[in-house]
């Protein structure tokens, strides 16, 4: 990666409610400024970290606005779990600033580094020794009475769910302008390949490699014979209509962070996002290895071609 800008800035976002995140954030602030890189922080997070901007050279920049926080920054460094990285995706959505996650969560599928990797991660940032990977997002639109009422996006998934536990949701699913099936269900998840290891995975949907551009559709507890997970083309438009006769209302969740109420008759359209999320990659490890590491999958006994060659055996 090359960037010859004379002034270098890094936005640092941290889950400041966790002590270990605060410690790691302070270490990165010290290390980055020590290399002459300007650190930008949200003002409230700087207060949580107990940092005085003038104690650093170059001085730490503070901003009150999340909307413009990543402007002119070469990367956004996120310290926390996948939830913190999804928040960073919101902050950087318009600017397309690359996001580098340092994992302090349990799984951390979106993260590229662990909290013990501060020195090596810092060195990679300073040397610009990283690559960028664009991931597909979803554009999500909500219509009521034919009028567009909400337009938002999702990195992992958009899920239509019943608003009340005791009420089933009646929906009809359409693909590319044609009806596919009607379900009485708890909801429907529409996920990206990035989100295939999140809610989609928990709901029984397939894991999709990030290099595959597609959308996964998974009905939740559907009362129907045909209620299998579906994988559709990235060019498809998925429509979920909350039937007018349904007794219960619904709610739209995007990445588990943003919600929209869905009264009977509401229509949700999901299509490939016009703006991807850009992730920083420090390692070129195959996605297979990431699955094994994150899920702790048992692979003992594997004797692949690489190992056989190492032992001098015939492939």
Task: Name the residues annotated as catalytic.
Answer: 82
Structure-token match 């989609």, residue found: 200
Distance CA 26, CA 32 (A): 10
- Would the CA dihedral through 263, 142, 207, 104 be positive or negative? negative
Buried b (16+ CB within 10 A) or exposed e, 31-55: bbbeeebbbbbbeebbebbebebee
* Euclidean distance between CA atoms 53 and 120, whole angstroms: 25
Contact 140, 158 (CB under 8 A): yes
Which residues are CB-contacts of 20 (< 8 A; sequence separation ≥ 6)? 104, 115
Alpha-carbon distance of 274 to 268, in angstroms, equals 17
- As a whole number of angstroms, the distance between CA 210 and CA 56 comes to 39
* C-alpha span between 8 and 298 (Å, rounded): 43
Walk across the sheet containing 178-185 and list its strands.
147-154, 138-144, 267-272, 238-242, 169-175, 178-185
- Per the listing, tokens 């969560």 go with 105
Among candidate residues 141, 138, 139, 181, the one with its CA nearest the CA of residue 268: 141
Query: Terminal CA-to-CA distance of the chain, rounded, Å?
Result: 37
């Amino acid at each position: 990666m090359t960037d010859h800008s004379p002034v270098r800035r890094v936005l640092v976002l941290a889950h400041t409610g966790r002590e270990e995140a605060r410690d790691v954030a302070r270490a990165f602030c010290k290390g980055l400024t020590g290399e002459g890189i300007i650190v930008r922080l949200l003002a409230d997070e700087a207060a949580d970290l107990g940092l005085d901007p003038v104690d650093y050279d170059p001085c730490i920049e503070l901003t009150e606005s999340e909307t413009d926080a990543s402007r002119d920054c070469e990367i956004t460094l996120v310290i926390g779990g996948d939830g913190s990285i999804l928040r960073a995706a919101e902050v950087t959505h318009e600017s397309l600033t690359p996001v580098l996650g340092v994992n302090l969560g349990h799984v951390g599928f979106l993260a590229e580094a662990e909290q013990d990797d501060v020195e090596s991660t810092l060195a990679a940032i300073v040397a610009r020794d990283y690559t960028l990977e664009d991931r597909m997002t979803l554009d999500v639109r909500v219509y009521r009475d034919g009028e567009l009422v909400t337009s938002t996006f999702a990195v992992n998934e958009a899920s239509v769910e019943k608003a009340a536990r005791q009420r089933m949701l009646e929906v009809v699913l359409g693909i590319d302008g044609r009806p596919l099936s009607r379900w009485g269900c708890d909801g429907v998840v529409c996920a990206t390949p990035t989100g295939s290891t999140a809610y989609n995975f928990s709901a029984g949907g397939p894991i999709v490699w990030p290099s595959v551009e597609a959308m996964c559709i998974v009905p939740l507890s559907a009362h129907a014979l045909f209620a299998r997970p579906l994988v559709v083309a990235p060019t498809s438009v998925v429509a979920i209509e909350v039937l007018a006769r349904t007794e219960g209302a619904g709610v739209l969740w995007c990445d588990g962070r943003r919600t929209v109420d869905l009264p009977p008759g509401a229509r949700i359209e999901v299509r490939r996002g016009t703006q991807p999320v850009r992730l920083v990659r420090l390692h070129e490890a195959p996605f297979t290895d990431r699955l094994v590491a994150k899920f702790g999958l048992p692979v003992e006994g594997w004797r692949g071609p690489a190992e056989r060659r190492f032992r001098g055996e015939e492939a």
